[in-house]
Chain A
Amino acid sequence: MRATAEQILRPDEVPQACRQLAEDGARLQMAYAWFPEPGEPPEVLYLADRKPHEPFPLLRCRLSSTDQSLPSLATRIPLLGWYEREMMDLCGITFHGHPEPYPLVLHEGARAPIPPLDPRYPGDQLIPFSAEPWQLPPVEGGDVQVLPFGPVRGDVLESAQIVFYYVGEAILHCHPRLFFKHRGMEKRFEGLSPALGVLLAERISGVDSVAHSLAFCQAVETACDCEIPERAKYLRVVLAEMERLYNHLHYLGHLCHTTTLKVGEAQGKLLAEQCKQLNGVFTGSRFLRGLLKPGGLRRDLDLEALPHRLRRLEPEIMTYMQSLETTNSHLDRLITTGHLPQQTAFDEGASGPIKRASGIDRDLRCNHPYAAYDRLAMEIPVRTEGDAHARAQVRMEEINNSISLLLQALDDMPQGPVEAALSAPPGAEGLGWCEGPRGSIYYCVHLDGAGKLARVKVKSASFSNWRVFPFTVHDTNMMDYAINEASFGLTMAGCDR
């Protein structure tokens, strides 16, 4: 696969190779499987990130037709636990010795005749399903109460169920049950042309439309060895940062909602609305959709008036953030809430602002620059406290960063075409990545013999961060739960896909 450093391995060599990667300081990013030929055994791939500016290490292992199993690595590399369970559910691969050998992506009672990601699974056949009880940690003692909250929750929230084990106000254990919204998005890419695939990528997570479609487009461009024009690179930076801006402002408003700072909530959400209106005025879509395509952009944008509009908005945003940072009632609820230690963040796979608030200074825009980020100056904000306040502070600094990046990119914007011709060579493969508002997003794209999409793997930021989140909830209290969840800024759609 292009953009990676590949190693082809036998199944029994995989554990040692993964351990070696970890010892070299690499961090596993994801694992997935695909079926190169219908009816043949699957191939399992492990993607890691070792050093900035170096190709991503990729381990590839073709399973044998007689034994479709691998040893589980989840006890040594915990963040792989969810990826292995996903492969068990969707690709029918067995992982021996898995510490949590339960279904994850498909709910108990969903009985697929053949694994859904097997190309032989009929495209339009709904999975047979009858709800069954699911595996919950056993409880002893009469004082512990169990509260299943969801999947239909209060307000306008995405569907998910959070099961609390609690005594009075104290949460003993938190057990999220997710994937109610699993839409089988990866399967939908199969057989589409890359030009239509980008429409699906935009709809994996609506509020990360640019981040997902950008990672997808870059994966296709890498596979096809396509260099996009300079202007398109700068325009992509502008779109990605406009997306970050409205997301982070909404995040701050929503965080105020949970600390009951009403005017702060109103102002944060008003600023987010103003950014979405700017998106509408300059791009035709409040979610910046319908612009990216493999090879560049679908049309050029007239952004001449944007710097002026941003400069008018900037002082309002600054005043707002300064006011938040001097409001004791707000800060009292954030500081020390939902503490995530650095080691847990690293081991369990925390991503984006969450890991940067726990002392891990990684950002794909700097470490593996794409689009025009290597031409623009930026800093990676890092905090070591690992609490809700640190997570909010990292996002506030990212807002400053985004405005600065936007103004730089708009100032340096070259003229010229915005798309390059792209021809898809049969069987090409490519990796694409993007630092979205919620963290790192990776797309692995495999093309078939006709240049159509054979397999698209989506690694979203929320999938990583939902896995980490419960570690900050055990042994806390109910009053802080909503604040802590808001401080993570997660989406369900991105996680469930």
Chain B
Amino acid sequence: MPIWTLFGIKRGVATSSWPGREDADVQTGVLGLPRFQPDRCQEHCRACADCCLPGAIGIESGSSGERLTLDYGKCIACQLCTEVCPVDALKKSSDWAFGVRKREDLVWTEALASKPAQELTAKIQSCFGRSLHIRHVDAGSCNGCESELQALNNPYYNLHRLGIFFTPSPRFADLLLVTGSVTYAMREPLLETYNAMPEPRWVMAMGTCAVSGGATAGGYSCAHGLEGILPVDMYVPGCPPNPAAMIHALLVLLNRAAQLVHGGHYAK
């Protein structure tokens, strides 16, 4: 045993200073969701829509011709659209901090209405101060989201330092964090967990599967994520979202960080 004490002391602090210091989020190189510049689109080109497995990219026909629609809530960050786009209207990016409070903020809108900065929700502030206890439910994921959630408690991200904890009992939980597209067999255990939580309670849809179903939407055994199953307070698309994106979303929920995505536009 003493050898491990000595080992720990010698190893020193491994924890990141992010989000305190901007440059240390260590997601260097990690690709996020593609960036969209519709003014570059060629007429009658449907290359991106044709290769989009979960249907995040679609074509809408209107009076002024065809228009591309983009829903980041369905994007699985597979990067195929960025590879087939002939004009870089969709480009690889490192935009991964996609946590938003309203589902519609993940849908690309043409003219961005200027939104005031998110007001502090007095309720969250008065209930939880700066701390949060999370109950996680895996409602049918690929284990990618769990792998990154487990990483939150490794020495590098060390979620505890931010006053955020995972709790085994839903009775002690403030936030229900759901991964997966909600299989028929997990629907009831998920609802039971939610019902066992004291109010006030919040729900976070973690990963594209929980937001919309993603690559595993529908079929004979899955729902479309939490759509129509639970009220969601925070949507975090990504396949899977990286640990920094998860922390960012948790801090946005606690009003300790600003939401970066509005109307599908990523502002940094």
Q: Which of A57-65, A154-162, A163-171, A444-452 contacts B (4 or more CB under 8 A)?
A: A154-162
A253 CA / B153 CA spacing, docked (Å): 12
Among B137-154, those with CB < 8 Å from A are 137-151, 153-154
User: Which A residues lie within 8 Å of B221 (CB)?
Assistant: 116, 126-127, 182-184
Output the least CB separation between B77 and chain A (Å). 7
Is there contact, CB below 8 Å, between B215 and A181? Answer: no
Is there contact, CB below 8 Å, between B51 and A196? Answer: yes
Output the least CB separation between A214 and chain B (Å). 16
Q: Which of A151, A203, A261, A276 makes the CB contact (< 8 A) with B186?
A: A151
Output the least CB separation between A288 and chain B (Å). 11
User: Which B residues lie within 8 Å of A343 (CB)?
Assistant: none
As a 0/1 sequence over residues 179 to 204 of chain A, the CB contacts with chain B under 8 angstroms (1 = contact) are 11111110110001001100110011
User: Which A residues lie within 8 Å of B26 (CB)?
Assistant: 277, 280
Check if A303 is an interface residue, CB within 8 A of chain B: no
Number of interface residues, chain B, beta carbon within 8 A: 69
Is there contact, CB below 8 Å, between A206 and B220? Answer: no
Check if B222 is an interface residue, CB within 8 A of chain A: yes
Q: Which of A262-270, A361-369, A379-387 contacts B (4 or more CB under 8 A)?
A: A262-270
Is there contact, CB below 8 Å, between B5 and A263? Answer: yes
User: Which B residues lie within 8 Å of A280 (CB)?
Assistant: 26-30, 242
Check if A124 is an interface residue, CB within 8 A of chain B: yes
A187 CA / B219 CA spacing, docked (Å): 8
User: Which B residues lie within 8 Å of A156 (CB)?
Assistant: 136, 146, 149-150, 166
Is there contact, CB below 8 Å, between A327 and B4? Answer: yes
User: Which A residues lie within 8 Å of B212 (CB)?
Assistant: none
User: Which A residues lie within 8 Å of B76 (CB)?
Assistant: 199, 203
Q: Which of A110, A151, A200 makes the CB contact (< 8 A) with B184?
A: A110
Check if A97 is an interface residue, CB within 8 A of chain B: no
As a 0/1 sequence over residues 202 to 218 of chain A, the CB contacts with chain B under 8 angstroms (1 = contact) are 01111101000000000
Is there contact, CB below 8 Å, between A269 and B155? Answer: yes
Is there contact, CB below 8 Å, between B145 and A290? Answer: no
Q: Chain B CB within 10 Å — which of A199, A200, A264 has the most?
A: A199
Check if A112 is an interface residue, CB within 8 A of chain B: yes
A264 CA / B240 CA spacing, docked (Å): 27
Check if B86 is an interface residue, CB within 8 A of chain A: no
Is there contact, CB below 8 Å, between A182 and B183? Answer: yes
Is there contact, CB below 8 Å, between A181 and B83? Answer: no
User: Which A residues lie within 8 Å of B218 (CB)?
Assistant: 123-124, 126
Nearest opposing residue in chain B for A178, CB measure = B185
Is there contact, CB below 8 Å, between A276 and B138? Answer: no
User: Which B residues lie within 8 Å of A463 (CB)?
Assistant: none
Check if B59 is an interface residue, CB within 8 A of chain A: no
Q: Which of B6-14, B62-70, B109-117 contacts A (4 or more CB under 8 A)?
A: B6-14
B residues bordering A, Cβ < 8 Å? 1, 3-5, 7-8, 11, 14, 26-31, 51, 53, 76-80, 83, 92, 135-151, 153-157, 166, 168, 170, 180-181, 183-186, 188-190, 193, 215-216, 218-223, 239-240, 242
List the 6 shortest-distance A-B pairs measured between CB atoms, nearest first: A206-B144, A269-B154, A493-B143, A154-B168, A280-B30, A284-B31
A residues bordering B, Cβ < 8 Å? 107, 110, 112, 116, 121, 123-127, 129, 131, 151-152, 154-159, 179-185, 187-188, 192, 195-196, 199-200, 203-207, 209, 250, 253, 261-264, 266-267, 269-270, 272-273, 276-277, 280-287, 289-290, 298-299, 323, 326-327, 329, 491-494
| 30 residue pairs bridging A and B, Cβ less than 8 Å apart | A112-B220, A151-B186, A152-B190, A152-B193, A155-B150, A155-B166, A156-B149, A159-B137, A199-B78, A199-B80, A200-B53, A206-B141, A207-B143, A207-B144, A207-B147, A263-B7, A269-B154, A269-B155, A270-B155, A273-B154, A273-B155, A273-B157, A276-B151, A280-B27, A281-B29, A290-B79, A298-B83, A323-B3, A323-B4, A493-B143
Q: Can you name 20 extra interface pairs (CB under 8 A) apart from A155-B150, A269-B150, A494-B143?
A: A121-B220, A129-B185, A155-B166, A156-B150, A159-B140, A184-B222, A203-B144, A204-B142, A206-B146, A206-B147, A207-B143, A261-B4, A263-B7, A267-B7, A284-B92, A287-B240, A289-B78, A290-B31, A327-B3, A492-B138
